[in-house]
Structure 1
Amino acid sequence: MKRTTDKVAEQFETFQILDEEGKIVNEEAMPELSDDELKELMTRMVYTRILDQRSIALNRQGRLGFYAPTAGQEASQLGSQYALEQDDFILPGYRDVPQLIWQGLPLYKAFLFSRGHFKGNQMPEDVNAFSPQIIIGAQYVQTAGVALGLQKRNKDAVAITYTGDGGTSQGDFYEGMNFAGAFNSPAIFVVQNNQFAISTPVEKQTAADTLAQKAVAAGIEGIQVDGMDVLAVYAATKDARDRAVNGEGPTLIEALTYRYGPHTMAGDDPTRYRTEEMDNEWEKRDPLVRFRKFLEDKGLWSEDEENEIIEKAKEEIKAAVKEADNTPKQKVTDLIGNMYETLPQHLEEQMEEYKAKESK
């Protein structure tokens, strides 16, 4: 049996296009992106890094609620989102707000989501997305259903979802992939393997050498990609999407990445379970540093350009926070009304009670 599992693992070598110095190591796999598109990818990663820094600061000030830091995972998040079309559906996990923003979710609504406001869960009509899922792995089953719906409607679109390495230990992870595989539905399942499910290292999650090889049991395509390499993530996702809309079924993508901050801002202390040596090693693979070197070598990027993006991000974040602050507070009557189309008698009574309280 050991020989069998080893043979399976050997089939999942890490797919990479740029090395840690920003040099192309896989010319054949280089995606067809224009210079402007390459710069746009970098712009989005820089912006998202600033958004993460500001969100952490706002959380510490008590101006945001739940927040899961994203620094280190920009390539896996934005590289995959950049390969999507507007008709595709995103079913994110709680750390995947950046994908929603770049798909069209207004920034102020992202802040409202963090605050638990119902308006933060209302997607614009032209954004096909679910609210970020808090229940670990549940979005995988939902994605299988959305993908089947797209398939039944003959849409040239896919459903893409995200979870972390810890999510692969949930039953929903296997059920979702198995269902999508059985129906050959257009789904893309992304695992952002950031090495730790809160404090549990990935080697304690599974005996498998890779998470990508879990696709084999579901009978679907699987690939392990360097999740700190935005071009590799883009290329892998683009290929998965092309095959899905062509009727070739779902794909599991394992993106090897690292979160530089805590699991969430709710009291997690990564220094208790991660070593300084590990942090330093992964910092050398920083997706922004790597891609910056690549663009600079091509004469497409400068410090001045990056500083302009940083200042723009700060101004837009400031304006979005102000808009979120000016949004009317969520009321108990909003909660009751949003939960039911037709209220049962006991809630009708409570609705009238709270309407009276809120009118004072």
Structure 2
Amino acid sequence: MHSDLPGSNSQLLDRIFETSPTGIVVLTPEGSITRCNDRAEQLLDMAESDIEGKQYEEPEWTFTDPTGKSLAESEHPFVRVRDSMAPIFGQEYRMERPHAEPIHVSISGAPIVEEGTVERLVFAFEDVSDRHEREQELEDMTRQLEVLNRVVRHDIRNEMVVILGYVETAADEVSDPDVSDYLDRAHQAWEHVVSITKAAKELMNVVTRSEPPELAAISVKPILEEELAMVREANPDATVQIDGSVPDVEVGATELLESVFRNLLTNAIVHHDRADPTVTVSASESDGHLHVSIADDGPGIPDDQKWKIFGKGQSGLESEGTGIGLHLVENLIAQFEGDVWVEDNEPRGSVFVVALALAE
């Protein structure tokens, strides 16, 4: 099968061993290194002649857990494999080196067993320092977002309640129509800030999750009808209507499905260029999915902006999308394993379409 390769099988195995991009070392059951390849020399920061014959617990390459905590003797990868006579896979350690910076390595190892006795142990290891650094950066970012989440959830919203109290008190005391108009605008701005902080809180809860959410069968019709009622109440000058009926079906989602509809409906009104916007909602089943369309008669979205309207492929809150709300929508729909996109409305405006898989 390998007749086109030069040399014997032993020579071929030697070439594979030496050219492997992963460091490989072979040890006796007593822990003495008998062989290593070129990549192992690089990772251990020593020449092969200096490595061979050394023991696994040599001080030149001290192993700790990824955080730098010392290992018990029984936790050392060599001891684990030797004593259990079982392989390990992709275990991460921090490794001190004699003349270079410590690195994080992923180690896999297995015993060579003959008639119930361990004859040799083989370990393969690779440098995963870059991956470890990225993971640490993500953990740091998550902690910072959690702090920001608490600020948004408590401090800012508490201050907004105080502001609302002053605005409402002032509105009760003034009779000048111009001043009353200013106070009405202040109240509208207050509502907008509150909606932004709510969307920001929900977005941070989504992006800081360590695991994907567990999807459940969620009935769409009551959620959509409730969000429509709330948007109508908050925007009396807008016409918010349903075209046809909403199928009484369930989709795979979480309780945050309401946030998807709320943000899309609010977006259609907030970014309108007229005082009396019209928003039309329709829903239909197709190919095992529920499609919900939210159409407006606003200014529309240029074709060269449609692909980045949700901030896709860009850095979160610094994206060129229209705001936190749409970025939250894109993140939630991705977690629901659905899709969302924007189309042109006729004769003007945009249509946001949400596609969600029907619950089984």
* Structure showing greater Rg: 2
TM over 0.5: no
TM-score (norm 2): 0.22
TM-score (norm 1): 0.22
More helix by share: 1
More strand by share: 2
